[in-house]
Structure 1
Amino acid sequence: MAGNRLKTDNSTKSRKTGAERLKKDKVADVKMKDLVKDERTHKVTGVLCLLLTLYLFIAFTSYLFTWQDDQDKVFRLSSDVLFREDIQMENLLGRLGAFVAHLFFYDGIGITAYFCCWFFFILGVNCIVGRRVFRIWRNFRYMLFGIVLLSTAFAFVFQGWQFPWGGALGNMISQWLSGFLGTLGTTLLLAATGLAFLIWQFNFDFKLPRRSPRPVVPPVPEDTYAPADGPQEVKPQPLGLGNLLKDDDTATVINPLHAPETEPAGEMTLIEKDVPPPAAETPAAEKETGESSRVDLPLGKETTPLPARRPAKENGEVTLEINPAHEEEKSSGRPPNKAVKEQGLYEPTLDLQDYRFPTLDLLENHGGDKIIHDNNELENNKNQIIETLRNYDISIQKISATVGPTVTLYEIVPAAGVRISRIRNLEDDIALSLAALGIRIIAPIPGKGTIGIEVPNVKKSIVSMQALLASEKFQNSKMSLPIAVGKKIDNENFIVDLATMPHLLMAGATGQGKSVGINALLVSLLYKRHPSQLKLVLVDPKKVELSIYRLIEKHFLAKLPGEEEAIITDTKKVVHTLNALCIEMDNRYDLLKEAGARNIREYNEKFIHRRLNPQKGHQYLPFIVLVVDEFADLIMTAGKEVEMPIARLAQLARAVGIHLIIATQRPSVNIITGTIKANFPARMAFKVSSKVDSRTILDIGGAEQLIGKGDMLISYNGELVRLQCAFVDTPEVEKIVEYIGAQQGYPEAFLLPEYVDEKELENREFGSGEKDPLFEEAARVIVQTQQGSTSLLQRRMKLGYNRAGRLMDQLESAGIVGPNLGSKARDVLFKTETELEEYLQQLF
């Protein structure tokens, strides 16, 4: 029985313990750290701070009028006044308001108590908004300084008054200073302290006018420069059998032309290129080497290799002399102008000085940065290629493989006497033997003495946008408009400057990655450019692809005046927008002509150094990028009305910072005409349906053999490169635009010049009673500048040429400007604005 009882007790205890443990697991642990970081806690704190601000402000303001009635009651009862219901206070907030106001004013800091209201106000606003609208620490320092200085000054000036202007703090410091420095010394100290604060805060200029300095004569550059270092010797390892891999930072892979005799046939050797450390300054011609892989595949004993060429040696080693580069004089010898001395260089980013660039944690790492090597797959493909070529009596000397994210490049060196055309014609046979889709033969590879065979990988890797943007090449880029496109076969990041392309033509069938490619280009620009440096004109006939960017309208987007939506979807508005861009281009060329600059870079450089007068219409010019998501739909609906402004922009807009990215699903000859192709040297092709489409977009076949899902060919600088496009998902783009859209932007989107269709104005003339709404403003602009120029009205008022011309005609008929003088500006008949205003009042 005892044993049974023991067993029963143990089982009951076990069940009870399990129940207690289960109940304990259900209780959620609330951590104080998470509660403090919670967004709702911040908002509640902000609301309480704002209520406290309002409460103190009402109590303090009421105290200014009721302090005489309430002061004796507070003196007599002290804090007991809070609990005496028979006491009636005159303060609007009752006994508590009177006591708190008395505490701040009489026992505290006097009239400077209002600083506390301001401090609680900025705390509340920052907590509710969720970002730093006001700088708390800086305002807190100003508040403390103001309380000490002003309370002392009020107590010193109004000493003997019944109202506590300086409070107890001000009276104490004022009495001590008066006894220590005297009345005159205290006055001088307070005045000097206040003046010093104002000078420190506003930096007043007390300089007397002085003579202009003599021009600085630039130093005469020397004809020759002595090199700082002598010739350097580079001693590479001697050529030998097997694969050599250098251990230094400038490692280079040297592939021998034959395998060692002791190495068994079929064995695979993997050689990885070292990644050079990031340098402070990388030359433009130097390419960033990613994590690429190159595999030398031995052929066996049946192939007779050619003897390797050996360079001339001195004392058994090759000596390479590297002459130091000539460094040019950086100083132009031009002294800084007066405006730069007084105001410093113009900084366009100060318009939105609190703007923060998107962070990399908004993007996801979809795939690993390392490329996975499948040795069995490489070996099988190597054997199939060798066997197929041997069946057609083609022998090769060497074969090596470079593994990329989605494609592996097999490079072969044919034996002597083998014609390249024989290998090129075997493209279908090699594809059949490998049972792979998307085989592409490059015969020969430009810049190499090899023939390339591109074979898709069985296991493909995703190229993450986060990896490209985090790379050293993108982060330290000095490009004007850097775009991260994707990765090459050797895993090298392909990052180029859109400003040097200067326009990009994209094509690809539906679902092959074209829209993702557009998002990748736009995200690259958003991560690298400030809103003051870049504006986007987005044309989306499909109405759904680019609508996600509407949140950054007041930061990066440009639109026509009077339009509600910045993203253009209506074909008629597209025509107006393109013509408005042409007007903007012409206006910019006028500005460059007046500034004596050849391109936008030189113009902005002069404006930053304050060598251009903003009162004459000069301004900092941001880059403008036009993105058209579906060009074929525009051509079908508008035709020549779209093609002509596109061709004109492509021909001329590069120098003034306007660049085009045009995408289409149908790269046929009636969509991409010869006029358009001639002005788009950079082309990007995803998988297309036929070889004809590939030739239309790239002038060469190959795009029809791509495997899709971001696999692409890009023609840039006369070179055709196969890439795997970077992948950025729609939720990632949403996070980025929400992050930017939540920040403070401009009051409105960037406005393009107004365009009025000439067809709408045919057979229409303005009578004497029909005045343009901008007539008076145009008259004031003309009189202020004393220049009767139509182009001036276009630039200053952002008008189209037609409307500016009509305004000038109306000004002439009204007697404000003289007649047309040909290429010269019209005469302005009014010299002052006062005369103009009197005339306008009489005229209308």
Structure 2
Amino acid sequence: MSKNKLKTEKPESKKPPKGPATNPDVLKKDKEPEVKVKELVKDERTHKVLGVFFLLLSVYCFIAFTSYLFTWEDDQDKIFHYSTRELFFGDVKVDNLLGRLGAYVSHNFFFYGVGIAAYLFCYFFFIVGVNFIVGRRVFRIWRSIKYILFGLLFISMTMAFVTNGHDFPWGGAMGDALNKWMSGFVGKTGTALLLIVVGFSWLIWKFNFDFKWPEKKIKPPKPVPAAAPAAPVASATATPAAPAATNTAPVREDPRKNGLRDDGGVMVIPPHAEEEEEDLPPMELVEREDITVIPSHAPYMPPVPASSFTEEEDLRTEEEEAEDPGPLLYIEETPEPPPPPAKKKGAPTEVAFEIKPTYQDEEDEVEEIAPVRPVEPVDPYDPSLDLRDYKFPTLDLLENHNADKVIVQDTTELEKNKNQIIDTLKNYDISIQKISATVGPTVTLYEIVPAAGVRISRIKNLEDDIALSLSALGIRIIAPIPGKGTIGIEVPNVKKTIVSLKNMLASEKFQSSTMDLPIAIGKKIDNENFIADLAKMPHLLMAGATGQGKSVGINTLLVSLLYKKHPSQLKFVLVDPKKVELSLYKLIEKHFLAKLPGEDDAIITDTKKVIHTLNALCIEMDLRYDLLKEAGTRNIREYNGKFTQRRLNPLKGHRYLPFIVLVVDEFADLIMTAGKEVEMPIARLAQLARAVGIHLIIATQRPSVNIITGTIKANFPARVAFKVSSKIDSRTILDIGGAEQLIGQGDMLVSFNGELVRLQCAFVDTPEVENVAEFIGNQKGYPDAFLLPEYVDDKDPDGRELSIADRDPLFEEAAQVIVTAQQGSTSLLQRRMKLGYNRAGRLMDQLEAANIVGPNMGSKARDVLVKTESELNEILNNLL
């Protein structure tokens, strides 16, 4: 055991200090504290400095890598060409945002490293920096390192496999090496499968997906008390002891549990077996407007397997089985109603609910105030008196294409389709409760009610499978049907029925209609006539592929209006770029058509005249709004009501305003030829014209963005889609798919008032339209067609004279330049005369007005009409 001892030093062992002797009067300097490495590493400030460094390194690498994605082609050549010494100490210029160092680091990480997976290093530096700055473990470093290492290998190899042969090093040297070795080892197909399996396995390990098969819900067995074992079957005339025992049972006991009976017997509940096969009620056919009503059947009892009962219990005669085909059950019939079941814990209690009458104050009642002075009755103004002898077209002018007026119902076809639908759904473990059919003129709607727990999306995804089983042209699934708890499957009929326009116009719904502009479009699936008011739409957009019924649809709408409106109440502005579709209505020019002043033909086919007509309609719209403002009304209906009551003075410019319907048959052709000159007035009319009685019907093959802009499309809430070729076209027209599943020949979808309705368009043939037009044209009409306001285009040189005062001072010089060069180009004037584009353009317009150059030909140069300088001098002298 060692003891502590004082250490003594011998005086002779001390060594004299080196250097000069210290002066005791002078103060000694304080010693600086010694900084140890261990304490420096543990210091908090050191951690924060390291955190800032790693964050800076993360940002630096991210910027360098991102810049490398765009500048790698130029910088890679310089890195390969120059040595490292020249690259760092020379004067080499690179395109990377972080200079030569950024280009060098990015090149090594991408080209010689792991490719695009190098971004994982930015993530690693970021999590390390955050942990150092915060001072605690925000991110788990070791777990992140495992994921980063896996990502470096997997991402680099995957990118190298996917972009094999690409110039950019997506996978880097490591990815290329792994891909080359793996492709040689297991082949390219094996490598692809391995990458898929590894990626999917990592996702399962990371997120732990649940792959449980959906279990079928088992219905709980109904509580049926069993008879005593001595009696195999309890008859309806049971002894009174049994009901007495049932009535005296305590309420708190659960009747579903097995227990002892009061008479000494045992109450046994038979086990509930799973349903092996569903019994569906018979399908019911719904005709015309009848509501589908499924008759009430006996309560559905699932079949109970024989294993649920003993041999002694299954003793029933053949007569009893014929009378009762249901399962063998023990039933005790009680003469008195059973006591009310005990309330379960958590069940909602019944609360008395009473609606009290609302108190009404007698003082709030508004009394009718008698007028101060009696108003003398005045005969209302009748605009139809101008053509008092006008007779509306008769229905005998139209043909009845469907003489029997009965929709063909093939019971065999309906039963076959019903069975095919049920079998197809059963193949995918989808059970349904009931099914009903509604036969329409073109398609049949099968409405099914799925069983509880069946997802609607599963049935929606089986659209192609059901179409394959039915061998149909194309079916459409409505899941669910709006306003109903069913799913609709529309199947085309083998025998289609033509919807005649004559039957629709003769219907009570159309004849007694009080709409401003009633139009008969077609029939629904339930054979109901679809009649709408164009004034409330307020504009209609019709689209569909070529030959699917757009022109017939336009004729249907126009003939419907001709049968309902007087010439003084309605005018048409017809635009027909095809020049042959709407020419049938030329005979009713003096009755229903409107045109520009001075025009010979009321049906517009020239693009230039279309522009003038649309602008004239805009002027008419502005004039009508001025009249509405002076009259103090908000729409055309109120204005005409005041005018017919003689409350507006015609001497102040007031007049009766008829409805104007603009019909454009091929809008896409106008946009291709005129562009903005047609688009602007159409947009103005679509936005503002509905209140003054101007409505648009525009037909086009596909209303794409470049044909109908968002401003125009937003003002066409009512849209009609005939059959299109793709789902993209359907979404372009209706903002929803479905039009690609139509079968053509007038089959269409109408989007109106937020609903999507499938219709069969009413058919009217060309001879029928001619008969109606001749019937109207042979009657006395107005002296001329309805004249629109006059419109003068400022850009039209024919509509203005060349004024000497407005002529540019350089006009003669510009004319000499053009005639000498024999090239009517605006850019030539800019170069030769050093002018701006606007002034050169004005000079070219003035030269066109003087017949020196021809009209504008787009990107081509104008034709020079004057060939010699003598002709030019003659023209200039005449202009003076």
Class of the TM-score when normalised by the shorter of the 2 chains: 0.5 to 0.7
Counterpart of 1:521? 557
Q: Go from structure 1 to structure 2 and tell me whether the alpha carbon gap of 1:681 and 1:667 turns closer, same or farther (over 3 Å shift).
A: same
Per the alignment, residue 627 of structure 1 pairs with 663
Higher gyration radius (CA): 2
Structure 2 counterpart of 1:356, which letter?
A: K
Could you give the per-residue CA deviations for residues 23-71 of structure 1, whole angstroms, max 9, x where no partner exists? Answer: xxxxxxxxxxxxxxxxxxxxxxxxxxxxxxxxxxxxxxxxxxxxxxxxx
Q: What is the match of residue 385 of structure 2?
A: 350
Whether 1:440 aligns to 2:454 is no
Which residue of 2 is the match for residue 774 of structure 1? none
Q: Which residue of structure 2 lines up, in the alignment, with residue 535 of structure 1?
A: 571
Q: 1:484 aligns with which of 520, 540, 552?
A: 520
Partner of residue 456, structure 2: 420
Aligned to 1:794: none
Per-residue CA deviation, residues 487-511 of structure 1 (Å, 9 max, x unaligned), is: 0001111001000000000001111
After TM superposition, give the deviation of residue 388 of structure 1 in Å: 0.7
The equivalences for 1:701-720 within 5 A come to 701-720=737-756
Q: Tell me: CA distance 1:373–1:354, structure 2 relative to 1, closer, same or farther (3 Å).
A: same
- Whether 1:365 aligns to 2:400 is yes
Alignment-mate amino acid for residue 549 of structure 2: G
Q: Deviations over 1:293-326 (max 9, x none)?
A: 888899998989xxxxxxxxxxxxxxxxxx9xxx
**Aligned counterparts of 1:300 and 1:429: Cα–Cα separation in 2:** 32
What residue in structure 2 maps to residue 549 of structure 1? 585
Q: What's the CA shift for 1:270?
A: 3.9
Change (3 A) 1:268 1:401: closer
* Distance of 1:330 and 1:744 partners within structure 2: 51
Does structure 1 conserve the Cα–Cα contact (< 8 Å) formed by 2:284 and 2:436? no
Contact 2:723-2:742 within 8 A present in 1 as well: yes
Deviation, 1:438, is 2.3
Cα offset for 1:647?
0.7
Residues 362/336 of structure 1: CA separation in 2 closer, same or farther (3 Å cut): farther
Q: Distance in 2 between matches of 1:518 and 1:764?
A: 38
**2:537 counterpart letter in structure 1:** M
Alpha-carbon distance between aligned partners in 1 of 2:601 and 2:799, rounded to the nearest angstrom: 31
Is the alpha carbon distance of 1:329 and 1:719 closer, same or farther for their aligned partners in structure 2, counting shifts above 3 Å? farther
1:460 and 2:514 aligned:
no
Q: Cα offset for 1:413?
A: 0.9
Give the Cα separation in 1 of the matches to 2:459 and 2:555.
39
Letter paired with 1:346: Y
Residue by residue, what CA displacement relative to the aligned partner does 1:580-618 show, whole Å, maximum 9, x if unpaired? Answer: 000000000000000000000000000000010001100
Asked if 1 retains the 8 angstrom alpha-carbon contact of 2:285 and 2:438, the reply is: no
Distance change >3 Å, CA 458–CA 330, structure 1 → 2: farther
In the alignment, does 2:686 pair up with 1:650? yes
C-alpha distance in structure 1 between counterparts of 2:583 and 2:373, whole Å: 46
How far 1:758 sits from its partner (Å)? 1.9
Q: Distance in 1 between matches of 2:406 and 2:803?
A: 73
Number of the residue aligned with 1:686? 722
Residues 376 and 606 of structure 1: CA distance in aligned 2, closer, same or farther (over 3 Å): same
Q: 671-680 or 761-770: which moved more?
A: 761-770
The reply to whether residue 469 of structure 1 matches residue 505 of structure 2 is yes
Distance, in Å, in 2 between the alignment partners of 1:525 and 1:588 is: 22
The alpha carbon displacement at 1:733 in A equals 0.5
Q: Does 1:577 align with 2:613?
A: yes
* Cα contact 1:266–1:297 (8 A) shared by 2: no
Once structures 1 and 2 are overlaid, which stretch shifts more, 428-437 or 263-272? Answer: 263-272
What amino acid sits opposite 1:541 in the alignment?
P
Question: 1:754 and 2:794 equivalent?
Answer: no
Please give the alpha-carbon distance, in whole angstroms, between the structure 1 residues aligned to 2:367 and 2:759: 38
RMSD: 3.3
Q: Which residue of 1 aligns with 2:759?
A: 723
Equivalent-residue separation in structure 2 for 1:551 and 1:336 (angstroms): 51
Structure 1: distance between partners of 2:706 and 2:569: 36
Native 8 Å contact 1:508 1:514 kept in 2: yes
Equivalences, count: 472
Q: In structure 2, the residue corresponding to 1:659 is in which secondary structure?
A: strand
**TM-score between both structures, scaled by the size of structure 1:** 0.53
- Contact 1:297–1:398, Cα closer than 8 Å, also in 2: no
For the 8 Å contact 2:456–2:480, the answer to whether it is kept is: yes
Report what 2:89 is aligned to.
none
**Cα distance, 1:760 vs structure 2:** 2.7
Q: Distance in 2 between matches of 1:425 and 1:548?
A: 47
Asked if 1 retains the 8 angstrom alpha-carbon contact of 2:550 and 2:722, the reply is yes
Whether the aligned pair in 2 keeps the contact of 1:554 and 1:745 (CA below 8 Å) is yes
Percent of residue pairs bearing the same amino acid type: 78
Helix, strand or coil at the partner of 2:389: coil
Q: 1:269 Cα deviation (Å)? A: 4.1
1:498 counterpart = 2:545: no
Question: Is the CA contact (8 Å cut-off) linking 1:292 and 1:491 kept in structure 2?
Answer: no
Q: Which amino acid aligns with 1:500?
A: K
Please list, as runs of the form range in 1=range in 2, the aligned pairs for 1:308-319 lying within 5 A after superposition: none
Contact kept, 8 Å, 1:295 with 1:401, in 2: the verdict is no
Q: Give the TM-score of the pair, scaled to structure 2.
A: 0.51
Unaligned residue ranges in structure 2 (runs of 5+)? 1-277, 304-357, 359-364, 807-880
- Post-superposition offset of 1:517: 0.4
Once residues 335 and 361 of structure 1 are traced to their aligned partners in structure 2, the CA distance between those partners, rounded to angstroms, is: 53
Whether contact under 8 Å (1:406, 1:460) holds in the other structure is yes
Residue 683 of structure 2 contacts residue 711 of structure 2 at CA under 8 Å; is this kept in 1? yes
Give how far 1:371 is off: 1.7
Quickly say closer, same or farther: Cα 1:672–1:609, change in 2 above 3 A: same
Q: 1:569 to 1:329 in 2, by over 3 A?
A: farther
Contact 1:270 1:296 in 2 (8 A): no
Structure 1 segment 667-678 matched on structure 2, within 5 A: 667-678=703-714
Counterpart-to-counterpart distance in 1, 2:606 and 2:477: 44
Match of 2:773 in 1: 737
1:515-546 Cα deviation digits (max 9, x unpaired): 11000000000000000000000000000000
Segments ≥4 residues shifted beyond 3 Å: 263-273, 290-304, 328-338, 761-770
> What is the DSSP-based 3-state SS (H/G/I as helix, E as strand, rest coil) of the residue aligned with 2:551?
helix
Instruction: Name structure 1 gaps, 5 residues minimum.
Output: 1-262, 274-289, 305-322, 771-844
Would the aligned equivalents of 2:719 and 2:750 in 1 still touch at CA under 8 Å? yes
Counterparts of 2:733 and 2:467, CA distance in 1: 24
Distance apart, 1:265 and its partner CA: 6.7
Match of 2:652 in 1: 616
Question: Partners in 2 of 1:647 and 1:427 — Cα distance?
Answer: 39
> 3-state DSSP class of the match of 1:491?
coil
Query: For residues 731 and 295 of structure 1, what CA distance do their matches in structure 2 show?
Result: 45
Contact preservation (8 Å) 1:292, 1:402: no
Indicate yes or no: 2:604 matched with 1:568: yes
Residues 585-604 of structure 1 aligned to structure 2 (within 5 Å): 585-604=621-640
Task: Report SS of the residue matched to 1:394.
Answer: coil
Q: What's the offset of the Cα at 1:667?
A: 3.0
1:431 Cα deviation (Å)? Answer: 0.6
Question: CA 1:393 to 1:498, structure 2 compared with 1: closer, same or farther past 3 Å?
Answer: same
Deviations 1:713-772 (A, max 9, x none): 0000010000000000110010000000000000000000001112137996898999xx
